[in-house]
Chains A and B, each alone.
Chain A
Amino acid sequence: MKHLPALVMAVGFCTVVSAETMIDMQIHNHLQQPLPGAVIEIEVTEPEARSSTLHIIDQVNKAFVPEFLVIKAGDEIDFPNSDNIRHHVYSFSEAKTFELRLYADRPERPVDFPNPGVVLIGCNIHDSMIGYIYVANSRNVAVSDETGRARLSVPEGLEAVTVTIWHPEQSSSPELRRTEKFTQDDLTALISLSVETLDVLPARDTFGDKFSSVQ
């Protein structure tokens, strides 16, 4: 995933009139470089009304568009096929295991993602196609910008917050979501988060693989 596509935020807000605090966070990698594209989520205990939003991940030129998408648990994603070839989209992730057998144009219905977690999607016949879907538990989710900055608003008066952090290029398992706890005091200052990333993302080029072993 060389280019992180523009982050599409489609988080629905229930407007509750209450006092909120803005938390600023600086995310960097293990080389202390600002890390854009990291997903930050803060767990909020208050119940939320369930609603479903439909997202679209298109397949263009044997690539998922977008490759990285943050949604809320309960949302649905439609996987239309804009290529003139068929695709076999699948995922073995815990949060959502599914399979869209070889199809063209548009599958019968969108796939729903009821459980929060990370879903890695691929195409069985095009191994180079990899997509990342972050299914958030709450609305308090943000993606770090080009400078590695992210800003979240949390309700005032919380004694402590749990911050979940995930990045598609993290060196740990791609489905692992790391959590860190912060006290009220911590929240007053800029929160600094670090993610260990892979130096090089394992590229998949089946054509090259086939011949490099022979040579």
Chain B
Amino acid sequence: MSGAKHKTLADIVMLFAIALLIVATLMIQLATWRSADNFNKVQIQKKIDQAHHVYHQYIESRNATLSAASRVLINDFGFRQAVMTADADTLASMLENHGQRIGADLMVIVDLQGEVVASTAIHENAISGAASLRNAYQNPGKEILLPLSGSLYQVVALPVYAPRLVAYSLVGFRVDRTSVLELRRLTGLEISVFADPEIRLTSLHEDFPDGVRQFLANSTSPLFFWQRPRFHNSTLEDEAVQIWLSFDLAEIYDEYDNLMWKIMVVTLLILLFSALASKYFARTLTQPLQFLADWASAMSRGQYKLVEAEPKFRILELSSLFSSFRSMAWEISHREDEIRYRAEHDMQTGLLNRLAAFELMDSYANQQSSFALVMISLTNFRDFNDRFGPEFGDDCLKHFSERLTTFCTQTDEFVARYDGIQFIAVLNTSSEDLRSRIDVMHHTLSKPYLVSGLQARFKLSFGCALCPEDGFSAEVLLRRATIALENARRHGLPLKFYQQGNDEAYLRRLRLVDELGQVLERGGDQLYLVYQPKMDLMTNKVMAVEALTRWQHPDEGFISPDLFIELAEQSGLINRLTEWVFETVFLQLQTWQQARIDLEVAVNVAATSFSSPDFSYRLLNQLAASTQSREGSQRAPLSLELTERDILSNKEIGLANIDRLRNNGIKVAIDDYGLGESSLSQLKSLPVDELKLDKSFILNLDSSVRDQMIVKSTIQLAHDLNLKVVAEGVENKASLALLRAMGCDSIQGYYLCKPIVADEITRWMEQYAYLDHL
């Protein structure tokens, strides 16, 4: 959730509510305006209609009054008599008199031709010429508006009979401002009367420089920037007279504007209220959401604060969301605890695992605390496992772990399982008695464990490295403790402390292992074989050579065969190395055979190779393959040299391998005989062809009587057991002479020839033919 594009929920809710309201209010406004407008229009029309009606009523009622009065007048006998008999002046004075009786402003007698006979006014010509009157004579009693010399009269024309129609009488009221005002009072509309040319009567108060008509037609009432016509005008035409009924809309506008303002104010209030309400509503929604979001992000950082009490959320959905969050937080923290426990602990024993130990040690080292790392190896655990099954093994480990745990008595001490059968104890070095603590630990842990009714006793090796003396990181400390452990194991000691320089040698060994592997991968480019001849003392002929492996390292030069063979054995490269040796030997034999050199080659085989049950098969297959690949070749004259230890490390497999090889014409010799654990009883049961006396007996043979006795008796014994004897390490003529005297079958040594490469062997063999002095 980032970026300016995101709107808050509160804003959206508020905007939505306001937009909705604005639309709704506008619609209401529009509807109100429309209905008000329609209503007003109807009202105006009604009022106009009413006004027309009232106007006509008014005119007609005035006309009726006029007519009634006139009729009474003209039907008066005296009036008829005067009309028929009197002279014009008398008639005029009579008209004036009679007019006053009925309040008429105009009284005229017109003859049948329309000529004025007598009149109260002096507009005789105007009356005679008035076209509107012609029509009036035809429709007696009808009201007429008659503009006359600047004044307007409402006139009624009535016939005068005496007894036949003899004349018309015109009787009229003057229409003046009073009449107009009265009409306004009756109709509620502004009344204006226009007649050519100068008659202008209006009920309006103001003076109008541009004329009343202009004012009525053009005056406006503003609303904002909108000009509305002020008057709604309706015109009545009566010949030359125009009557304007003008509805003054100002009042309606006022009412309407007032309504509009009210609606607008109400709208604004509603908008304000709804903005506040939606803000409040949004807050009740967003505050809990923010709370939950903060909580979630805290959880993502690994802070599982368990909020038990729910803040006031007020909304059901949010409350249930809170509950879900709470249970989720609990579940996650619970699960993470479990995951962490699993990540840090070994499930089998419940101890800390290697990774956790690593981190703890690193953190201790970073805190510059000093401690001792004790690495414990259960060297014979596999025997239990193999003999009693993995379940028993697991139980043993559990018991062992329990006992181990009891030694962590001080703070910051811990134990961990480092590997399948390797454990770690980190102990405080502050105490003076570290050594004794470790001894006690060794003692206690070595005591038997009662598991499933059986007593298990572990053979333990301890290796110890100290922080900060031996290293500042878990990795270095662990490696050095392992080195110390290896040293202890190699030397058969219960405990070894790491010694300065061990690690460098160890690292060199690791590097050499790595490089040896690479060399073998490339086909053994840095490796080569040397051959040391063996002389048969009976014939004084060289019939066999011993193949020895050499490694010429490009940087380090000559690598000790003891070292790299040991490394090959430890690292599992030995099988491949052995294979390479055989392959090379077979090739060499081929070469020699072609050169008509008859030599038997003896090859040393390491125990780890030989203890493999399929060793013999592989060798025989390899031999068969090399023999087949060359035409006309004979079976390779091959012998193997094994130490007793090699054979006995796994006696059954070793004996089976020997049997199989010997059955296939491969001789087997016991190498380094007399060294270590050689026993005569074993010798009896070993199905071998030859004994090779260890050079330690031979090197000083000429000077050591004791060695002479051993050698002599051993040769005797071997011969009794039908075994040939080879002595190696012969360095002088005296020793050779002694061995010859003792009946030794063959010798090998520097006196005869040092180990040399195959090409030199050929030359040496040629020279040797002349060495009769041997």
Contact = CB atoms under 8 A, between A and B. Distances in A.
Interface of A: 88, 90, 92, 97, 120-124, 127, 129-130, 174, 202, 204, 206, 209-210, 212-214
B71 A214 contact: no
Contact of B164 (A97, A120, A124): A120
5 contacts: A90-B163, A92-B80, A121-B163, A213-B67, A214-B64
A90 B161 CA distance: 12
Given A122-B162, A122-B163, A174-B164, A92 B84 contact: yes
B77 A202 contact: no
Interface of B: 60, 63-64, 67-68, 71, 75, 77, 80-81, 84-85, 140-142, 156, 159, 161-165
B64 A127 contact: no
A4 to B, nearest CB: 16
A110 to B, nearest CB: 20
Contacts of A122: 161-164
A131 to B, nearest CB: 8
A130 B163 contact: yes
Contacts of B75: 127, 206
Counting chain B CB atoms within 10 Å of each CB, the highest count among A127, A129, A206, A213 belongs to A213
Counting chain A CB atoms within 10 Å of each CB, the highest count among B85, B140, B163 belongs to B163
B640 to A, nearest CB: 159
Contact of B161 (A88, A204, A213): A204
Contact of B165 (A92, A202, A213): A202
B163 A129 contact: yes
A120 B163 contact: yes
B142 A213 contact: yes
A92 B85 contact: yes
A124 B162 CA distance: 9
B525 to A, nearest CB: 145
Nearest to A209: B141
A22 to B, nearest CB: 35
B213 to A, nearest CB: 32
A88 B75 CA distance: 13
B177 to A, nearest CB: 27
B57 to A, nearest CB: 11
A96 B709 CA distance: 219
A209 B71 contact: yes
A213 B163 contact: no
Nearest to A97: B85
Contacts of A121: 163
A109 to B, nearest CB: 21
A129 B162 CA distance: 11
A202 B163 CA distance: 11
Contact of B63 (A120, A204, A210, A213): A213
Contact of B77 (A124, A174, A206, A209): A124
A127 B163 contact: yes
B394 to A, nearest CB: 131
Contacts of A204: 161, 163
Nearest to A174: B164
B643 to A, nearest CB: 160
Nearest to B63: A213
A210 B159 CA distance: 12
